[in-house]
Each structure stands twice: as structure tokens, then as C-alpha cells.
């Protein structure tokens, strides 16, 4: 049984949540399913901040407050990121530099005016489910 391998059912469930998988535990002829819907992992990449025209961190805090129950916001270089938010402080959009943007869904943000675009993009990701 998987729970025996990890020492406890709680440890097993934590590992399953972290891995982002669906788990199933079998007990004799009775099956007990645990459907663990895991938050999607959204990476945040900030530019260098040489000339920010708005509060980038504050904007992400507002977004996190709205979507805390649906997304896990992490650094962009964490493993297994599902999507990426590129937080540039101005229209030079240097947060995107050096990234291969073809491999992952992303949303560039370059000012306060992009707040609603970011919110709508995250809503669309949430509605799609797997992406």
C-alpha cells in the first residue's frame, strides 16, 4: 500500500498534493478514492526593476488574494510551473528576456493597465482546467 511506503497516510497525501497527481488507495475489495485537485503552479518572473512605473509586487499580491484557492504562485524558476506571469516594470518588457516562451502559457504585464488582462487570463486558465 502506498501509505505504508511513506510512513503515514498524511505523508502520502502531502506528497500526492505536491506532485499534482490523482491518488487511489485500495483496501481489500473496497476501493477508497482520493481525488486531490491540486492548485496550478504559476511562476512569477520580475524584471530588474530599473524603472518601474507601478508597484509590481503589490499587483501580484492583489492577484494572489483573488486566486489563492485556485493557484499557487511561485518563483518562475521553480520546477513544474504550469504557466508564467512576466512582470515588467515598464513597456520595455525585459522580464521576458532569456525565456523560451513557446513551451509554456504566459501573460506579459508591463503596467497597472494590464491588471484586468492578467485577471482575465488567469480566469481563462482556471476554466480550462488542464493546460
> What would the pLDDT profile of 65-107 be if each residue is shown by its tens digit?
999 889 999 999 999 999 999 999 999 999 998 887 788 899 9
Query: Is 19 a residue whose pLDDT tops 50?
Result: no
Nearest in space to 6 (alpha carbons), one of 22, 20, 25: 25
Query: Is 123 a residue whose pLDDT tops 90?
Result: yes
Range 6-12 average pLDDT:
49
Give percent of the chain above pLDDT 70: 69
Range 23-33 average pLDDT:
39
Nearest in space to 89 (alpha carbons), one of 118, 120, 68, 110: 110
pLDDT at 60: 96
- Torsion angle of the four alpha carbons 128, 129, 130, 131, in this order, in degrees rounded to the nearest 10: 40
- Check: CB of residue 103 under 8 Å from CB of residue 84: no
Residue 30 or 33, more confident: 30
Residue 21 or 51, more confident: 51
Query: Is 55 a residue whose pLDDT tops 70?
Result: yes
pLDDT at 47: 95
Amino acid at each position: 500500500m502506498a501509505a505504508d511506503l511513506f510512513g503515514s497516510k498524511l505523508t502520502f497525501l502531502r506528497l500526492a498534493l505536491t506532485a499534482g497527481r490523482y491518488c487511489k488507495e485500495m483496501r481489500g475489495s473496497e476501493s477508497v478514492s482520493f481525488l486531490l485537485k491540486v492548485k496550478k503552479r504559476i511562476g512569477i518572473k520580475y524584471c530588474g526593476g530599473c524603472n518601474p512605473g507601478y508597484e509590481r509586487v503589490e499587483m501580484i499580491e492583489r492577484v494572489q488574494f483573488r486566486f489563492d484557492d485556485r493557484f499557487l504562485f511561485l518563483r518562475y524558476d521553480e520546477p513544474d510551473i504550469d504557466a508564467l506571469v512576466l512582470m515588467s516594470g515598464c513597456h520595455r518588457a525585459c522580464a521576458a528576456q532569456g525565456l523560451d516562451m513557446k513551451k509554456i502559457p504566459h501573460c506579459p504585464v508591463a503596467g497597472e493597465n494590464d491588471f484586468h488582462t492578467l485577471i482575465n487570463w488567469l480566469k481563462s486558465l482556471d476554466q480550462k482546467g488542464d493546460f
